[in-house]
């Protein structure tokens, strides 16, 4: 039997045109992609969805508000809150009342952290996986390179090179082309560029990492790429030490995008983590999905 099919879905969710990917049946795993130029569920999770479905899960991977095929609605007061509200509304529309595991990559993990550390929750999560997420955000020269995108294919190649280790993915014309096309859909460039806007009267963000990791009273897996150019060395161990129940997996030779760069190792780390709470979904053999 081959891998289960990944289904592309679209619907109006609370007046917002919403796109997501879905695969499999069983306890729900929610996949939340990152927030770089041209990112979406399709550019992040192609190997992960069928592999997790084969482990016995229903996998839901939405395009965040402003990304991929979802509408480019911008909130200048509380954008992370609006984005989380939208994901919660999508889950309600799908009759999902409980999430077995939520996986957040980069921005997706940062927004997930906000939700998990809040006093009141929009959706129930049993366990969490933070991928290249947590600790101090992007700063300095890396931040300047991150926002320095002019809409050209060459500029997207530079973005992919910044996020990955080596030249494998920045030289992949198909992947760079998909990211490039996604970044130039109507409203996408303007939406993303607006992230750099700040009111002259706005207070600067507080220094350091403001996340109260001690509040995360659930099992957490932190996955880090050893060659991540966007994160400071040792960030994963630092945040894991502050959580009541956390473990760290560091993947050698991997940058900021482990599910893309090393899908076999990434899926194996997820399989071991998920098996602890869902043993019937974890076969003895490792997933067979090859390196993309």
pLDDT digits (tens, 9 = 90+) for 155-201: 999 999 999 999 999 999 999 999 999 999 999 999 999 988 888 88
| Cβ–Cβ under 8 Å, residues 256 and 106 | yes
Q: Strand 124-131's sheet: what is its strand order?
A: 7-13, 16-23, 58-62, 28-32, 98-105, 124-131, 220-225, 246-251
From the CB of residue 92, how many other CB atoms can be counted at a distance below 10 Å?
Answer: 14
Query: Closest Cα to residue 43, out of 156, 189, 133?
Result: 156
Give the model's pLDDT for residue 203.
81
Q: 127 has which bridge partners?
A: 101
Instruction: Report percent pLDDT > 90 for the chain.
Output: 79
Phi, psi of 227 (to 5 degrees): -110, 30
CB neighbour class for 242 (10 Å; exposed up to 12, middle 13-18, buried from 19): middle
Does the pLDDT at position 281 exceed 70? Answer: no
Does the pLDDT at position 225 exceed 70? Answer: yes
Average pLDDT in the 220-243 region? 94
Rounded Cα–Cα distance for residues 151 and 180 (Å): 7
Among 36-40, 151-155, 178-182, 273-277, the least confident range = 273-277
Average pLDDT in the 198-227 region? 89
Does the pLDDT at position 63 exceed 70? Answer: yes
Average pLDDT in the 2-6 region? 85
pTM higher than 0.85: yes
Quickly state the pLDDT bin for 277 (edges 50, 70, 90): low
Q: Across the chain, what does the average pLDDT equal?
A: 90
Q: What angle do CA 34, 214, 271 make, to 5 degrees?
A: 50
Among 238-242, 256-260, 271-275, the least confident range = 271-275
From the CB of residue 205, how many other CB atoms can be counted at a distance below 10 Å?
Answer: 9
């Amino acid at each position: 039997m081959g891998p289960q099919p990944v289904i592309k879905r679209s619907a109006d969710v609370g007046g917002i045109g919403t796109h997501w990917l879905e695969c499999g049946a069983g306890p729900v795993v929610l996949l939340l992609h990152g927030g770089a130029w041209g990112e979406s569920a399709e550019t992040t999770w192609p190997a992960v969805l069928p592999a997790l479905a084969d482990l016995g899960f229903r996998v839901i991977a939405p395009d965040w508000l402003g990304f991929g095929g979802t509408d480019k609605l911008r909130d200048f007061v509380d954008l992370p809150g609006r984005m989380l509200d939208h994901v919660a509304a999508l889950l309600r529309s799908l009759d999902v009342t409980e999430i077995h595991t939520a996986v957040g990559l980069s921005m997706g993990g940062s927004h997930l952290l906000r939700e998990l550390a809040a006093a009141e929750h929009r959706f129930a999560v049993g366990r969490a996986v933070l991928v290249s997420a947590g600790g101090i955000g992007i700063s300095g020269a890396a931040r300047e390179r991150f926002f320095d995108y002019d809409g050209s294919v060459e500029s997207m190649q530079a973005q992919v090179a910044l996020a990955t280790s080596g030249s494998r993915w920045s030289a992949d014309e198909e992947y760079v082309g998909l990211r490039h096309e996604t970044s130039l859909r109507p409203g996408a460039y303007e939406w993303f560029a607006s992230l750099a806007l700040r009111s002259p009267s706005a207070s600067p963000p507080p220094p350091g990492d403001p996340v109260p990791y001690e509040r995360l009273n659930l099992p957490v897996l932190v996955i880090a790429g050893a060659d991540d150019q966007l994160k400071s060395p040792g960030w994963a161990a630092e945040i894991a030490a502050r959580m009541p129940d956390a473990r760290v997996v560091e993947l050698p030779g991997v940058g900021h995008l482990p599910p893309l760069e090393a899908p076999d190792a990434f899926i194996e780390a997820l399989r071991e983590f998920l098996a602890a709470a869902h043993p019937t979904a974890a076969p003895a053999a490792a997933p067979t999905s090859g390196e993309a």
